[in-house]
Homo-oligomer: A and B are copies of this chain.
């Protein structure tokens, strides 16, 4: 293995906590009272359907920032939230650029970087990933993923073009993810697979991705454990 490519939302950063906090701050500033954990889940629930329109060919590739914003407008409208100034909506959309890393992420990545090329393989666009890395101190060597590949996960192209950008065969690249379906898609095209459970990604009642669903090449407790097991 030469490169470790990471899923980001849920695997490296705690998107749900970050979106809840951003929602609370937005609500306080604009007099909006909502169930913010529900708001976070509702916003995220529109993520896959929005990408599916692109994956299925129903829509040309657009950045995830654009999909996030359309979905935000939908969710706020459903909750009857209106009259918010445009800059505040743009700022709330950029909450995805200010998500907290999991406690082990920065230290684990810093160790892993000593032996491997570290990259993002997220559906998030380049600017989102760069700003998120600056916010949280995530030490990537390279930003890859959907925008560079012009294809959303879990299409084969999203993984294959990311490996090709590094001039590596898929067998020399590992995907690190907290989501079994992401790893399944990556394995199908030849990637190595590393599973890290994030049992509170979806909040206290999480029922999915608590355990590895297949015999992944490596299963770790967190990213420091990954560094231990990979000799970093």
Contact = CB atoms under 8 A, between A and B. Distances in A.
Interface of A: 65, 117, 119, 126-127, 129-130, 133-134, 140-144, 147-148, 165-168
A166 B126 contact: yes
Contacts of A148: 126, 148
Given A65-B167, A142-B142, A147-B165, 13 more contacts: A117-B130, A117-B134, A119-B130, A126-B166, A127-B167, A127-B168, A129-B142, A130-B141, A133-B141, A134-B141, A140-B141, A143-B143, A148-B148
Most buried by B among A134, A140, A143: A143
A110 to B, nearest CB: 12
Contact of A130 (B126, B134, B166): B166
Contacts of A133: 141
Nearest to A168: B127
Contact of A126 (B127, B134, B142, B147): B142
A143 B118 CA distance: 13
A108 to B, nearest CB: 18
A144 B117 CA distance: 16
Nearest to A143: B142
A126 B102 CA distance: 28
Given A65-B167, A167-B65, A130 B147 contact: no
Contacts of A165: 126-127, 147
A126 B126 CA distance: 14
A112 B21 CA distance: 30
Contacts of A127: 165-168
Nearest to A65: B167
Contacts of A130: 117, 119, 141-142, 166
A146 to B, nearest CB: 12
A173 B107 CA distance: 30
Most buried by B among A129, A130, A133, A140: A130
